Amino acid sequence: MQRRKVIGLAGAGVVGAATAGAVAWRATGGEAGPAAPAPDRISFYGERQAGIITPAQDRLHFVAFDVITKDRAALIDMLESWTAAAARMAQGKEAGALGAVGGLPEAPPEDTGEALGLPAADLTLTIGFGPGLFDNRFGLRARKPAALADLPKFPGDALDPALSGGDICVQACANDPQVAVHAIRNLARIGMGVVSVRWSQLGFGRTSSTSTSQATPRNLFGFKDGTANLKAEETALLDDHLWVRAGDGPDWMTGGSYLVTRKIRMLVEPWDRTSLLEQETIFGRDKGEGAPLTGKGEFDEPDFAVRGDDNEPVIATTAHVRLAHPTQNGGARMLRRGYNFVDGSDGLGRLDAGLFFIAYQRDPRRQFVPVQMSLARQDQLNEYIRHVSSGIFACPPGLRAADDFWGRSLFA
């Protein structure tokens, strides 16, 4: 049992006893230093932030916050508190004290309690900073990376501004959704008065593998997703395409990565009325095996030159994998790490379902943007999808020491 099982306040008439079990989480933050992680725990510390090349966990809770204070010190203070809480939660501990804090029965608990008794479940918490943070409020204007430019408007975009953007994001991934939800909710609680939830998204199933050790999952169109993804084991490719290098931009981002999120509604009902033939033509891969239409095995390289009996390209010129393939995009690759979502129904008799697309990369201007521009213009898939939300965030490198905190190098 990794989590504290005793809250320290049991039964009636013993309210005073609560104080005995009370632990201020700030005081115990030091426990969560760099150490070899136990099974089902992912180390919070390291050269890179966890949650990027970590083998994609099954569940997601993603949140984008607006900063609602102009007080720089309060913001930094919150980031310190967040870091301590995040490090504890990644160890399967509570964010803070569960009992009456500091002996005051009127003080709210410092952890919300719903993950008590649950394992760490491979929880990772990954932070990113959005373009809005680099306005005049906190003196960060000069530190804004050029790569963190607002995304252009793409043809067909149907973005809801209320579900887009944000000053700070946190991606919580875990194999237990209650653990991911608990983590985000406790960060929001700690951030009261400093940040406010702008939007949040639950993902129930991963739609990508990020490691060769993982089987490729399926998206809600029934196709394997993540086959030709960048994988954790491809370290040379990661250096070229994923991690920001010295000289790419401001130092505080060296070793980090840029995150693009797109909430993409998938129109499953019309899709379910199309034939297998059309579905496979749209992707350029077969549905069963996930092989390119010019190959047999899932990991066969697609051959875009092959033509069929009708002299048409076997992988159509408007097929998703052709348009997204590195050879069609000046070599651009990215690490996809998305999740399936279902948000109920849309009032028109249809499921409100789709893909919460997440991609990490070294420079969105040379990776996500040109690929998405090409997809938005030509992809046959567009008939069945709608991009409804969008975000871009700069995710700094990992923390190497227990006294470091999220954003320190940015605010230094």
Residues that bind ligand HEM (CB under 6 A): 219, 221, 223-229, 262, 264, 266, 283, 285, 320-321, 324-326, 355, 357, 368, 371-372, 375, 385
Task: Check residue 112 for interaction with a copy of itself (CB under 8 A).
Answer: yes
387, 392, 389: which is closest to 156 by C-alpha? Answer: 387
Helix (H), strand (E), coil (C) string for 323-390: HHCHHHCCCCCCEECCEEEEEEECCCCCEEEEEEEEEEECCCCCCHHHHHHHHHHHCHHHHHEEEEEE
CB 322 within 8 A of CB 284: yes
Distances (CA, A) of 70 to 29, 74, 168, 411: 27, 8, 14, 14
Q: Check residue 248 for interaction with a copy of itself (CB under 8 A).
A: no
- Is 181 among the residues that bind a copy of itself (CB under 8 A)? yes
Q: Does 277 bind a copy of itself (CB under 8 A)?
A: yes
Integer Cα distance of 33 and 84 in angstroms: 9
Give least dist CB 271 to a copy of itself, A.
Answer: 8
List the interface residues with a copy of itself, window 25-84 (CB under 8 A): 59, 61, 63, 66, 68
One of 78, 268, 282, 324 touching a copy of itself (CB under 8 A): 268
Look at residues 406, 412, 410 and name the one whose alpha carbon lies nearest to residue 191.
406
Residue 283: name its binding partner from ligand HEM, a copy of itself, none (Cβ under 5 to 8 Å by kind): ligand HEM
* Alpha-carbon span 217 to 226, nearest angstrom: 7
291 binds, among a copy of itself, ligand HEM, none (CB under 5 to 8 A by kind): a copy of itself
- β-bridge pairing 351-361 and 335-336: antiparallel
Comparing CB distances to ligand HEM, the nearer of 197 and 388 is 388
Q: Return the number of other C-beta atoms located less than 10 Å from residue 108's C-beta.
A: 11
Picked from ligand HEM, a copy of itself, none, the partner binding residue 274 (CB below 5 to 8 A depending on kind) is a copy of itself
Among 174, 353, 371, 392, binds a copy of itself (CB under 8 A): 353
Does 383 help bind a copy of itself (rule: CB under 8 A)?
A: no
CA distance 149 to 146: 6
Picked from ligand HEM, a copy of itself, none, the partner binding residue 372 (CB below 5 to 8 A depending on kind) is: ligand HEM
234 part of the interface to a copy of itself, by CB under 8 A: no
Q: How far, in Å, CA of 346 to CA of 265, rounded?
A: 11
Q: Which does 6 bind (CB under 5 to 8 A by kind): a copy of itself, ligand HEM, none?
A: a copy of itself
By CB under 8 A, residue 236 contacts a copy of itself: no
Q: Which of 136, 309, 311, 412 binds a copy of itself (CB under 8 A)?
A: 309
Among 140, 149, 188, 267, binds a copy of itself (CB under 8 A): 188
Find residue 218's DSSP bridge partners. Answer: 224
- Least separation, in Å, of the C-beta of 69 and ligand HEM? 31
Nearer to a copy of itself among residue 148 and residue 190 (C-beta): 190
Q: Which residues 141-160 are close enough to bind a copy of itself by CB under 8 A?
A: none
Judged by beta carbon, residue 13 or residue 39, the one nearer a copy of itself is 13
Question: Does 109 contact a copy of itself by CB under 8 A?
Answer: yes
Task: Give backbone dihedrals phi and psi of 189, rounded to 5 degrees, phi first.
Answer: -65, -45
CB 344 within 8 A of CB 352: yes
Q: Please report how close the Cβ of residue 223 comes to ligand HEM at its closest, in angstroms.
A: 4
By beta-carbon proximity to ligand HEM, the closer residue of 60 and 120 is: 60
For residue 388, with 0-12 CB atoms within 10 Å meaning exposed, 13-18 middle and 19 or more buried, which class applies? middle
With a CB cutoff of 8 Å and minimum separation 6, the contacts of 330 are 366, 370
Q: Which position among 2, 34, 46, 116 is part of the footprint of a copy of itself (CB under 8 A)?
A: 116
| Closer by beta carbon to a copy of itself, 77 or else 272 | 272
